[in-house]
Amino acid sequence: MDGFEYNMKSFDDIATLYHHFIESSKFSYAARSWLGDPKFVSNATQIARNITSKEWAEWVRSKITDKTHPDAYYGGSFEAPPQDHGTTHVSIVDALGNAVSVTSTINL
């Protein structure tokens, strides 16, 4: 947000300030899909360095306009997780140690 050069007068246009913040947050949220445990994502450390650099911040700032954009504009993966069709498991144990459990699954 530094590159937008906000000052006290900027707060007169609070809607623009919020818009810039929200748009920059969308890029950050998209970038999180590239990260992971370095044991499993070979370039996670390099990605973390890149997305915390001034160059990346400048690139993000250059992409922010006065409009919002489709999800793909921000990069990353915005796919919804697969819909759960419903599995439930309940286990009950009483004071005497008696136990019962049941699993119910809807296979669609």
Binding residues for L-glutamate: 105-107
Q: Which of 45, 52, 65, 87 is catalytic?
A: 87
DSSP conformational letter for 2? G
Q: Which residues are annotated as a binding site?
A: 105-107
**Are 51 and 44 a contacting pair, CB within 8 Å?**
no
CA dist 104 and 80 (Å) reads 24
- In whole angstroms, give the CA distance from residue 76 to residue 73: 9
Active site residue 87: yes
Active-site positions?
Answer: 87
